[in-house]
Structure 1
């Protein structure tokens, strides 16, 4: 029996997410987080032009959206559809509206209300130093997984899709020029955006015509390893530069370009109206496929709820928030953007094949699909709907994926640098920006090349990403709950999703723990034990803090107002 028209899924999904932004996020802004446009944000209070900088909300949204998105909202859904398109569709749409948007928005607000401190630092304030130390352990391991694994993913794409090389690296030059135009020359933001996007798509056309391949061997490194070294060098430099020089403009232009890419995908769906060939619920999954509950809820992380988002919200975005009211657009709508990407991945990997037999051939085992299925299926839909050549369509989607992953990579290095410096403060050692960055790169490179010169070691601990990421999301929600209780605010919109996310994730972590033990994967087993124990300990501390908060006095508000001179002069 034929499946539904993919256009129906697109219309329902997009409508739900936009309704979430216009309706639910407004409720959160007014009743739960109670945003104040006059509140003096950390970007003004600690402005240094490097990490703290008041930023136009559209520019900041571009940074936040592309930093949180990465490759995960493509990989997760593109793997999870093996259970059928319906479970993935429901988790992405409902998760985006009621959990992801609220989580990202809340972490951004909480950090801005607390001098731009990270969720790790806030855990010390609201649940105690012991909980903070354990929270930092989880964050440290998660960022290690993200940086190492994304370097491997990007290098693999640059090798398999050499047509994406020129637009990927050329985008950096465009971003540097855009940063100068915005902050030095004060040019009109709309004009800058238009020129920047045209330049990026021009680079895509050039890249499609002139693919770039690295030599088979250089200093003992395969092409994948060579790209990884270059990526780490780039990420280190980018994380040290002031945010306005590269990070903000690159993410802003990438964000617009990537949203155009989503427009191309959805426009192609509108014109091609492809049929979903995958089953709604797959009753004949390949042998060895784990049960859908609880694995669905950790396989699809980014695109439904992700702990990494809380680190970005409280690590870089909160330090650039101009007005507190901008948190709704940056945080919640950033999650909507990622939800739309995850939805696009579901459609591409279930309606981008001609027959169920072709789909089953790709999804022959659990873990199959992923980015290649997204690129192949999406390119087929674009070719059918818009008439673009299949090769150019694949280049557009591969470049989209690489740019998403690259922005997450260097933002991750900057965030991990913050974590290393926080750990140093706890130990009574002041670690400078340069040394902290060097420590991050050395640790990540050691993991990445631990299995050989091709950098495959970067994926060694990646199997723990799903559960670690979702545990961090659940813990972030519990800290938000404590904050709201202490302020006398409604907290059930946060607490209920926290209970659900933690229940599913702890269940999944225990299932994974027994599997690792049975398979003799002792490194992963040990790390999984450390992560589970740390998370459960933080959770116990948080529950105790909730009880104390309900019995204690309410926390006073600190509504220090901005002066007229501190208003951001950029176009709003």
Structure 2
């Protein structure tokens, strides 16, 4: 495509996004089609990713693709392992597209779809994606150090210790809440537990396959993983209906809690290429497939949003939580006063993911002539991930290996993903 053709494409996307937002804004108090929200979101995210991301990379951070990354400098096969960019994409995507994005928007929906929609669009583009990219960039330039270590280096030992303790406490609280959601979802659910358990040996096989059997063969291992993932989902139904096998995967909340603790320990001590990266990459197929399926479903059905843009609970007297929809910059999570939207934009956990866990995960940081940032996958994941969560929310009716072009970095051993 020539230069004029590219400009035409982006111009059309800009007009479509502006028109969709204008339609939503002008139809206050009336029911609108969910397709307008999808179009507005996709257009805004793509334009921001293409132009705003490129601006930050070139003019703010001055990304240098020739600069050696920690992955290359400290390739130790444990925390620093050059990883194919596709696996890295899935690794970070799965880390941020977890249980939080499902719960936060659902809670925010008590105020109507408009507050959450605005915050997910503006917060992600102007704050969340920028945070991920900048933390990743700085940590990469500082040899893959964590946020706490960066603070210690810049502000002294005392401030560094305080930052490390704060990060640790935040991680404990966040992971406890998210783990509770997972436990409740899998309690007495043989189908879900079996499917999740099946992905562990499958991920181990994928990691070994990429590192020792067929290094760099991402296409092959992707097909194998996708086929067995589909089999795991289908066979999970058979297991749940079997009086013989179902009891083996029927656990209480307490049992599942201890299992998660055990898994977190094992995943944290194993090399990142063996379990975490391939398992995250595997789960990304399901998550992106769901996002695409939701988008296609809305495109075909074009459902009407019966949920009002604003409800009476916008005054802060909601039945689930109280608080007015006023955007407030709050420490480590994103908040519309009283509305917690986990994984929405600014999030300390994702800063840790992008910085310490992913900073050295790149063979090189670069952007190509199309302005698509090859290193800024944290921002890209967030943009696409927001789209998927928005689609889910706005309908009230209802690794690692030795890839040449990838990269690797230091993984924070804090309980795994």
1:324 paired to 2:365:
yes
CA deviation after TM superposition for structure 1 residue 113, in Å: 0.2
Q: 2: CA distance between counterparts of 1:125 and 1:148?
A: 29
Partner of 1:114: 142
| Aligned with 2:95 (options 64, 67, 81) | 67
Give how far 1:151 is off: 2.5
Q: Contact (CA 8 Å) 1:17, 1:336: kept in 2 or not? A: yes
Residue 2 of structure 1: how far off its partner (Å): 4.9
Contact 1:92–1:342 (Cα < 8 Å) also in 2: no
Contact 1:89 1:346 in 2 (8 A): no
Q: Secondary structure at the match of 1:151?
A: helix
Q: Confirm or deny that 1:289 pairs with 2:347.
A: no
Q: Distance in 1 between matches of 2:249 and 2:252?
A: 6
Correspondence for 1:190: 219
Deviation at 1:136, TM superposition (A): 1.4
Aligned counterpart, 2:349: 308
Matched, 1:200 2:240: no
1:252 partner SS:
helix
Inter-partner Cα distance in structure 2 for 1:253 and 1:111: 26
Q: Distance in 2 between matches of 1:229 and 1:11?
A: 43
Aligned to 1:342: 389
The offset of 1:332, in angstroms, is 1.4
What's the offset of the Cα at 1:239? 1.0
Trace 1:19-30 onto structure 2 (pairs within 5 A).
19-30=47-58
Contact (CA 8 Å) 2:307, 2:396: kept in 1 or not? no
Distance 1:248 1:216 in 2: 25
Residue 39 of structure 2 is matched in structure 1 by 11
How big is the shift at 1:5?
0.8
Equivalent residue runs for 1:325-474 within 5 Å: 325=366, 328-347=375-394, 351-353=395-397, 377=398, 415=412, 417=414
Q: Deviations over 1:128-184 (max 9, x none)?
A: 333222211220111111232232221211126432122211111221121122221
Q: Name whichever of 162-171 and 305-314 sits farther off.
A: 162-171
TM norm structure 1: 0.58
In 2, Cα distance between equivalents of 1:187 and 1:47: 16
Q: What is the CA–CA distance in structure 2 between the aligned matches of 1:183 and 1:25, rounded to whole Å? A: 32
List per-residue Cα deviations over 1:396-438 (Å, max 9, x = no partner): xxxxxxxxxxxxxxxxxx7354xxxxxxxxxxxxxxxxxxx7x
Q: 1:242 to 1:95 in 2, by over 3 A?
A: same
Cα gap change, 1:216/1:27 in structure 2, threshold over 3 Å: closer, same or farther?
closer
- Contact 1:163/1:210 (<8 A) preserved: yes
Preserved CA contact (<8 Å) 1:61 1:329 = no
Larger RCO (CA under 8 A, 6+ residues apart) = 2
Does the aligned pair in 2 maintain the 1:66–1:255 contact within 8 Å? yes
- Tell whether 2:252 aligns with 1:223: yes
Unaligned runs of 5+ in 2: 1-28, 329-334, 367-372, 399-410
What is the rounded CA distance, in whole Å, between the counterparts of 2:249 and 2:229 in structure 1?
Answer: 28
Give yes or no for contact 1:159–1:223 (8 Å, CA) kept in 2.
yes
Match of 1:425 in 2: none
How far has the Cα of 1:327 moved from its partner? Answer: 5.9
Question: CA, structure 1 residues 235+352, in 2 after alignment: closer, same or farther (shift >3 Å)?
Answer: same
Q: Deviations over 1:13-69 (max 9, x none)?
A: 111111111111111111111111111101111111111111112211111111122
What secondary structure sits across from 2:187 in the alignment?
A: helix
- Which residue, out of 70, 80, 88, partners 2:108? 80
Match in the other structure for 2:26: none
Q: Counterpart in 2 of 1:392?
A: none
Q: Distance in 2 between matches of 1:303 and 1:213?
A: 36
Query: SS of 2:363's equivalent?
Result: coil
Q: Which runs of 5+ in 1 are unaligned?
A: 354-376, 378-413, 418-436, 441-572
Cα pair distance change 1:282/1:302, threshold 3 Å = same
- Residue of structure 2 equivalent to 1:244: 273
Contact 2:100 2:178 in 1 (8 A): no
Contact 1:215 1:223 in 2 (8 A): no
State the distance in 2 between where 1:63 and 1:10 align. Answer: 25
When you count helix as a share of all residues, which structure comes out higher? 1
> Structure 1 pair 264/208, CA: closer, same or farther in 2 (3 Å)?
farther
What is the distance in 2 between the residues matched to 1:216 and 1:58? 32
Residue matched to 1:150: 178
The corresponding residue for 1:427 is none
Report if the CA contact (8 A) 1:86-1:281 is conserved. yes
Partner of 1:56: 84
Which residue of the partner structure matches residue 127 of structure 2?
A: 99
Any conservation in 1 of the 2:84–2:216 contact (CA below 8 Å)? no
**Mapped partners of 1:40, 1:216: distance in 2:** 47
SS at match of 1:186: coil
